[in-house]
Amino acid sequence: MKQVFKALALTAAFVSAPVFAADTAEVGKPAPAFTLKDEAGKAHSLSEYKGKVVVLEWTNPECPFVKRHYEAKTMQNTQKGFDAKKVVWLTVDSSSTHDAKSAAEWKKKEGLSQPVLIDTDGKVGKSYAAKTTPHMYVIDAQGVVRYAGAIDNDPRGKEATKVNYVQTAVDALLNGKQVPTATSEPYGCSVKYKS
């Protein structure tokens, strides 16, 4: 009986232990902490969104895959479907040649409401192992990465029946369920990191 109580005490201590950010993003592990400034110069820290589901979208406005998704309103419609009180969408641009001015121009042209975070040195992108634009991550309310990969199952834009992995992941988390597809192969242009 003593062993049962010891095991229960150990389990309780483990469950209530704080979640610490990892150095690299991995599904099932705490998301790497970051602070980046947006196109208007406002700083955004991942930690300030604790308690909400966070969607991170790696982007490059010059990438044909990104252009296709914005022209088709894939990102906008996915984002629109979420309750802003429960879900935060952050767009991250790790392109070495982009700056706040180019991000602000793109945001205005596309009529976006979410912040576009500037990661010119690529540190945050590399900590998330962001490979493509777009490359998507969904982080749960406790700060744990629950999805990493493509926005959907349609790299060529020709699928009759698309599966939006981000929508599915966020819906599952908001309903207290396990994310059905935790990873997928991201597709798009390579992230243009600083050499």
Q: What is the pLDDT of residue 22?
A: 61
Residues counted in the chain: 195
Interval 136-149: pLDDT, tens: 999 999 999 999 99
List all residues 6 or more positions away from 161 whose beta carbon is below 8 Å from its beta carbon. Answer: none
Contact in structure between 67 and 193 (CB atoms under 8 Å): no
Residue type at position 28: G
- Residue 13's pLDDT is 34
Identify the H or E element spanning 66. Answer: helix 64-71
**46-105 pLDDT, tens digit each:** 999 999 999 999 999 999 999 999 999 999 999 999 999 999 999 999 999 999 999 999
* pLDDT confidence of residue 155: 96
Q: How does pLDDT run across 177-186, given as a tens digit for each residue?
A: 999 999 999 9
Threshold 0.75, pTM exceeds: yes
Alpha-carbon separation of residue 72 from 18, 67, 140, 148, 162 (angstroms): 41, 8, 27, 22, 13
Q: Are strands 189-190 and 132-133 parallel, antiparallel or unpaired?
A: antiparallel
Q: Which of 157, 148, 192, 128 is nearest to 70 (CA)?
A: 157
Q: What is the pLDDT of residues 12-59, one digit of tens each?
A: 333 333 344 567 899 999 999 999 999 999 999 999 999 999 999 999
Q: Domains (ranges, CATH) in the chain?
A: 29-190 (3.40.30.10)
User: Residues 73-78: contacts with CB within 8 Å, 24+ apart?
Assistant: 74/151, 74/152, 74/164, 75/134, 75/151, 76/110, 76/112, 78/151, 78/164, 78/166, 78/167
The per-residue pLDDT for 24 is: 81
